[in-house]
Structure 1
Amino acid sequence: MINNTKISIIVPVYNSESFLHLLIEAIHVEKIKNNWDIEVVLIDDGSKDLSFNKINELASVYKYIKGIKLSRNFGHQIAVKTGLTYCKGEYVAIIDDDLQDPPSLLPMFFSYLDSGYDVAYGVRKKRKESFIKKLSYSTFYKILKKISNTEIQIDSGDFCVMNKKVVKNMLKLQEKNPFLRGIRAWIGFKQIGVEYERQARIEGESGYTIKKLFKIAKDGIFSFSNFPIRLITILGSIGLAFAIIFSGYILFEYFINLIPVKGYTSLIIIISFFSSLILICLGIIGEYIVRIYDEVRDRPFTVIEETINL
């Protein structure tokens, strides 16, 4: 570590009252071992337990802890963005509160910044999660890589270290539905992916429900790809080709083979198919319109209820 480099460690916190002290103890071990000058910014993202009380308790022991309590659950990405907004370090790390991304990895990651990289992000080599979740993550990242306008590394998460220059440029993108690993890739600079084996959660259940995971997937796809809107044109072209071929077939049967065409079943199938297609296309257009509306309203991306040492 470069001497006298101020380090910020950003940790979004959700329902972590029972094990948050284990994370801070692990960070403190690295602080002592590596003689770090650090601040740890803990963002309570509307926890339903007494996580913020725990943050307050830990801040009285570890003076480098800063706490931020959001007025409700705004989501993981917003919590991290809030931490990035208020951190002061020259080097900035983002880790989760459940020790799946161990603080013991940080010295190795910081060494890449020392050697000239602007970002070192984690690439998950193994996941200690269910088969369904692993399959879902893998499928999402492969689809995103194929359709995205920006190259986003497969199996990269928010776990990373960055220099202050990168953080400043990330914060210039005032998106109301941020997909931070996509923003991190979009801004460029000298980046490197570092493989690591992700651990199982130390305790409790993940705050990422299916609904929240689906929202992050939507944010990633709709924020970094034009493919969904182009898909409408592709589907329309396929539908038009199908309609022309089917119409030709009907006319051939009627005029050439002189076969009366009743077509009730065919008509119902075609109407149902194209009605569903229209609704899907309207949904895709609506998703973009909703995002435009979110940006136009220009609401603050979060509301802070209380802070500690900030």
Structure 2
Amino acid sequence: MNKKLISFVVPAYREEKNISLFYDEFKKTFADLEGKYDYELIFVNDGSPDETWEEILRLCEIDTNVKGINLSRNFGHQAALTAGYTNASGDAIISMDADLQDPISLIEKMLEEWEKGFEIVYARRTNRNDNWLKKYTALLYYRLLANISETQIPRNVGDFRLISQKVLKTFLQLPEKDRYIRGIFAWLGYSYSFVDFDRPERIHGETGYTWKKMWKLATDGILNFSTFPLKIGLILGVIMMLLSFGFFVYVTIDFFVRDTYYPLYKWLTIGMFGFMGLQFIFMWILGEYIGRIYNETRNRPIFIISEKININKKPHENTSKSVGFDAEL
């Protein structure tokens, strides 16, 4: 009986202390599945300034099923994920982080759901061991996104997921640059299931997701999957017109009935500053969308691969040519 191949895509940034721990835990877990599945473990080094790449190279030497991709610089988590996806050969592909906060023990349950026929299996967090600020800002963000997005994006899921080869081929044809991958998979519309888990604390180091990177991910999610920001101008414009009309009626009645005097310059000054604020908001919104159009039209790849280890195959033939650049081809 031919075994099915499962690809594991693991982006890594500043994970020198976690790579070996991840591999050891992975081997222990996958030992129970080796009778049914083969594996390839693809580590993607996202321009780490520490010894992450050296740790990946060491594992590649002792296990040919471990494959390494080294990006030329830090392109970001979503780009690193895409680089791994373009080089995955499996019948199913599981993406997860190297910090062990995505429990490797969940792999078996995810594969069971896939074997039932689901094309996407999301690992859904039931508990987050984050600080209160990150926890509640994440809660507010996902509620906002759920209310304004044209695509229903599952809540409490990150990039720990399983996708089928069919979903991967579809995903790799998409050429967009500013990627919000969890939104893209939701937009594709394939059948999906969930496997719930409690997210443990990070063992070593600090997360590579700084507030700046989280802000970028959040804006990608909102602007890539919602036109609501473009409607803010209409909403605020209608509110301002109603308030202006109401104030005009009030002043007119007060002037003729009570003979009250209102200095015009006071209201002109307040109105001027209010409209200046609105102009800046609109300029920011238009700037974000124009910036995204600029990113798409200049057609730069979202990642550059400088080195690959134990990967002999070429990236998928149906991959959009504008997605990434491989210096080794």
TM-score interval for Structure 1 and Structure 2 normalised by the shorter chain: over 0.9
Instruction: Name the amino acid aligned to 1:66.
Output: K
2-structure distance, mates of 1:151, 1:129: 25
- Conserved? CA contact 2:109–2:195, under 8 Å: no
* CA deviation profile, 1:154-182 (whole Å, cap 9, x unmatched): 11111011110011111222210111111
2-structure distance, mates of 1:305, 1:15: 18
User: Superposed, which structure 2 residues align to 1:218-233 within 5 Å?
Assistant: 218-233=219-234
The Cα of 1:251 is off from its aligned counterpart by 4.1
- Conserved? CA contact 2:128–2:198, under 8 Å: yes
- Conserved? CA contact 2:10–2:98, under 8 Å: yes
2-structure distance, mates of 1:172, 1:147: 26
SS at match of 1:49: coil
- Conserved? CA contact 1:253–1:261, under 8 Å: no
The Cα of 1:3 is off from its aligned counterpart by 5.2
1:117 paired to 2:121: no
The Cα of 1:31 is off from its aligned counterpart by 2.7
Instruction: Report the counterpart of residue 96 of structure 1 in structure 2.
Output: 97
Instruction: Report the counterpart of residue 22 of structure 2 in structure 1.
Output: 23
User: Superposed, which structure 2 residues align to 1:278-293 within 5 Å?
Assistant: 278-293=279-294
* CA deviation profile, 1:195-241 (whole Å, cap 9, x unmatched): 11111111111111111111101000111111111121111111122
User: Superposed, which structure 2 residues align to 1:132-143 within 5 Å?
Assistant: 132-143=133-144
**TM score, norm. by length of structure 1:** 0.95
Instruction: Name the amino acid aligned to 2:165.
Output: K
Instruction: Name the amino acid aligned to 2:57.
Output: N
2-structure distance, mates of 1:249, 1:298: 55
1:106 paired to 2:116: no
2-structure distance, mates of 1:39, 1:136: 36
User: Superposed, which structure 2 residues align to 1:106-255 within 5 Å?
Assistant: 106-254=107-255
- Conserved? CA contact 2:97–2:160, under 8 Å: yes
Instruction: Name the amino acid aligned to 1:166.
Output: V
SS at match of 1:97: coil
- Conserved? CA contact 1:8–1:93, under 8 Å: yes
The Cα of 1:21 is off from its aligned counterpart by 0.3
The Cα of 1:248 is off from its aligned counterpart by 3.4
Unpaired segments ≥5 residues, structure 1? none
- Conserved? CA contact 1:42–1:68, under 8 Å: yes
The Cα of 1:257 is off from its aligned counterpart by 4.3
Instruction: Name the amino acid aligned to 2:23.
Output: I
Unpaired segments ≥5 residues, structure 2? 312-329
- Conserved? CA contact 2:101–2:201, under 8 Å: yes
* CA deviation profile, 1:239-285 (whole Å, cap 9, x unmatched): 12222223334444455544333143333222111210121112111
**TM score, norm. by length of structure 2:** 0.90
SS at match of 2:134: helix
2-structure distance, mates of 1:140, 1:3: 44
2-structure distance, mates of 1:34, 1:168: 25
Instruction: Name the amino acid aligned to 2:10.
Output: V
* CA deviation profile, 1:102-145 (whole Å, cap 9, x unmatched): 21110110111111111110110011111111111111111111
Instruction: Name the amino acid aligned to 2:185.
Output: R
The Cα of 1:70 is off from its aligned counterpart by 1.1
